Amino acid sequence: MKKNLRLSIIPYLFLIPYLFAFIAFRFGPSIAGFFVSLTRWNIVGTPKFIGFSNYFELFGDPSFITSLINTLYFMALTVPALIVLGLLIALLVDQNLKGRTVTRTFVFMPYVIMSTVVGVIWMWIFDTHFGILNYYLSFFGIKPIAWLSSVNWAMPAVAITTIWWTVGFNMILFLAGLQDIPEELKEAARIDGASNWQIFWNVTFPLLRPTTVVVLMLTLINSFEVFDQVYVMTGGGPSMATLTVIQYMYFQAFQYFRLGYGSAVAYVVFAFLIVLVLVERQLLKKVGES
Amino acid sequence: MKFRSGILVLLSLLVIGMVVMAAQPIQLTFWGGWTGPDGDVMRGLVDEYNSTHPDVHITFTTMQWTPLFTKFMTSAAVGNPPDILGMHGPDIPQFAALNLLTPLGNVISNAGFTATQFATTAWNGTFYNGVQYAFPLDLHMNAIYYNKALFEKAGITPPTDWISGQQFLDMAIKLTLDKNGKNPNDPGFDPNNIVQYGFGLYSLNWHAFLQWYELLAQQGYGFLNQQNTKVDYPSDAGLKAWQWLQDLVFKYHVSPVGATNPLNDFLIGKTAMLEDGPWEIPACQAQKGLEWGTFPVPQVFGQKAVWGSGHVLTIPVQNDKAKMQAAEDFVIWLIKNSSKWALSGNIPAFNTAREYAYSLPGRTGFLEGAPYEVMLPRIPNEAEVFSAASVSPIVVAGQDIMVRDQSILPVMEWMNNQVDQILSRGQ
């Protein structure tokens, strides 16, 4: 009996260091953040309780609304591309083809580069007057595009950078998922006369569902929390065309020292992500059932 | 016996410990936002002080100004601020209003410093509400950098003093070339295929606003009212200032639309002139093959005026008197020995130190501009009103006018309203 009790306690003991760090540095500050969002506070001095005023101000703040719309636009540009491309590349490098290891490495390599370095590299590539991209486009008679200084092009440019930078991560996850699918199932389908497309659609894709759920959820959350590359490449401009919610939160909290207001932004983002994940889970459940 | 020996050993250890403690130098921390070659110059000065003052050891830390101030606020909130903090004159009010800075008027006068020993703008920039909170270290202002080779090629003699807006524009037109070698005034000039621009200016960041601000000052106006509570300038003057800048880009085609890296464009010879501050001097010096010089910004309107700022040295509030004294001693030494600070590109505020800057190459534009420098208004919520962030109304207005070629008056009105809203909210 005693031995059983000891055995059942041991796993929890292993969890204690992590739980301690989680509570001290994640959970605790998150709860505190909610109370801060109900105050007016500039870090120094005593916070002044103002109820939900920050939240009311937030929803009437055009810059916040702009940042929210921009973030959704960024998600629309990146999430489908990152999922589809990640899956396609994973399917490609899962084949028994020559050079697949090299391809895997090349596709994944950008992911290990620091976000600031990625931003700086692409700033050079996207330079309107002297960038390499416009130089190559000029061979096709395309006039120089102001990638990072035009309201229309800045967000797509950041999206292209993000896709290049992070698609390798999705590829690795899909690849792991693909390699978990027993070869016998595909083999059986092939013997039954299924075409490659039928095998993919009826065997591979349904069995990849758990991986797809994870990849989709991670990509959605990461896209919603986009910050670094925008901060480096455009700073959120021009004319707020690439301003995202996390950036807006950063400006309010750490540049303007409006901790309460910044925390309110953080809590709205949190609520938004919860809703997003719940909707996604429901949708995928329905797809799975059908 | 054993007991007595034990006591003796303990006492000896205590005495040794006290002697060792007493011999330890006082440890000071010094934070500043000099992240470029200017940081190396400051580090050199700190090292010199450390080597000549064995009783004190200063640890110098640099990071960009914005995160530096965030770090300062958080460290001050928990009672652990740096012993010396660099900042700009206009940054003082936001920290002084929160009682985070030590008033230094007595320390400065006891050290024998007087207003007449410093550049007036720099000295005035250390006060807030009549109280002096900082030692003035330097001035830095806009000037025009020029590429000597491109000027020579265009047959232009570079100016050494203030010139009019028209003279400047004529030069910029001559220095702008399309792929057929035509200038913007020539028939058949192709604005879509310009290979060399006459003038590079910052239109994507807050410098567009600063250039506008100096043009407003050239017409004799400030941006805010006397009490710094509301935007207050004649819209006609504001319009004329923006119009001059917008025309350089969209009417005369002498400046590229939305240049993402104007400094780089100048360094590689794609633009012949650049309006920027002295912090770019080390980059120009490091660029192989670039022969460069500076002259003051053009006087487009009735008065001479140029936007500028100045670094100052503050001593954050703390309880350790010995450390505060050591910090004051260091800052006094630094000001007296600030001639070497001119190597960073900044113009020393201390008159005798500034003399050295005259002997250094490429300083003409800055030294000629220094007497006419205008700083931004001094307000507690400076971080938000004069923010360089993309959400800042002054940044958005600059981008709307200078990059998107939008109609000036509505944008200016929007900017004024936004700034008024921030001002009314307070710190």
Is A94 part of the contact surface with chain B (CB cutoff 8 Å)?
A: no
Q: Contact at 8 Å (CB) between B412 and B208?
A: no
Distance between CA atoms of residues A256 and A258, nearest Å? 5
Q: Contact at 8 Å (CB) between B127 and B103?
A: no
Confidence at residue A279, expressed as pLDDT on a 0 to 100 scale? 87
Confidence at residue A10, expressed as pLDDT on a 0 to 100 scale? 86
- What's the Cα-to-Cα distance from A159 to each of A21, A68, A86, B156, B159, rounded to whole Å? 34, 16, 15, 45, 45
Confidence at residue A1, expressed as pLDDT on a 0 to 100 scale? 54
Q: Is A262 helix (H, G, I), strand (E, B) or coil?
A: helix
What are A44's strand-pairing partners? A42
Is A121 part of the contact surface with chain B (CB cutoff 8 Å)?
A: no
Interface residues on B facing A, Cβ-Cβ cutoff 8 A: 66-67, 70, 73-74, 76-77, 98, 100, 192, 203-205, 256-261, 264-265, 268, 270, 381, 383-384, 387, 389-391, 395-396, 399-400, 403-404, 427
**Sign (positive or negative) of CA dihedral B231, B232, B238, B239:** positive
Confidence at residue A3, expressed as pLDDT on a 0 to 100 scale? 63
Per-residue burial over A208-228, b if 16 or more Cβ lie within 10 Å, else e, is beebbeebbbebbebbbebeb
Q: For chain A, how many residues are written? A: 290
**Structural domains in chain A plus CATH codes:** 67-289 (1.10.3720.10)
How far separated are the first and last CA of chain B, in Å rounded? 69
Confidence at residue A258, expressed as pLDDT on a 0 to 100 scale? 92
What are B299's strand-pairing partners? B164
Our CA dihedral for B189, B193, B198, B202, rounded to 10 degrees, sits at 130
Distance between CA atoms of residues A187 and A202, nearest Å? 13
pLDDT tens string B162-178: 999 999 999 999 999 99
Confidence at residue B425, expressed as pLDDT on a 0 to 100 scale? 82
Q: Which residues of chain B have pLDDT under 70?
A: 1-4, 6, 13-23, 427
Is A129 part of the contact surface with chain B (CB cutoff 8 Å)?
A: yes
Q: Contact at 8 Å (CB) between B419 and B393?
A: yes
Return the residue matching tokens 């992590």: A18
Confidence at residue B134, expressed as pLDDT on a 0 to 100 scale? 97
Region at B400 (left for phi over 0; alpha for psi -120 to 50; beta for the rest): alpha
**Structural domains in chain B plus CATH codes:** 24-137+310-372 (3.40.190.10), 142-307+381-425 (3.40.190.10)
φ and ψ at residue A226, rounded to 5 degrees: -55, 135
* CA distance, residue B180 to nearest chain A CA (Å): 17
- Closest by Cβ to A243, choosing from B381, B384, B390: B390
Q: Which amino acid is at B28?
A: L
Distance between CA atoms of residues A139 and A210, nearest Å? 45
Selected residue of B390, B400, B417 to mutate for chain A interface (largest A Cβ count, 10 A): B390
Distance between CA atoms of residues B45 and B32, nearest Å? 13
Cis check: omega of the bond before B298, within 30 degrees of 0: no
Confidence at residue B130, expressed as pLDDT on a 0 to 100 scale? 94
Confidence at residue B415, expressed as pLDDT on a 0 to 100 scale? 97
ipTM: 0.82
Q: Which pTM was predicted?
A: 0.86
Distance between CA atoms of residues B256 and B203, nearest Å? 9
For chain A, give the longest Cα–Cα distance: 81
Contact flag B268-A126 (C-beta cutoff 8 Å): no
Distance between CA atoms of residues A155 and A59, nearest Å? 23
* CA distance, residue A16 to nearest chain B CA (Å): 28
Structure tokens at B366: 């800055």
Q: Which residues of chain A have pLDDT under 50?
A: none
Distance between CA atoms of residues B362 and B17, nearest Å? 54
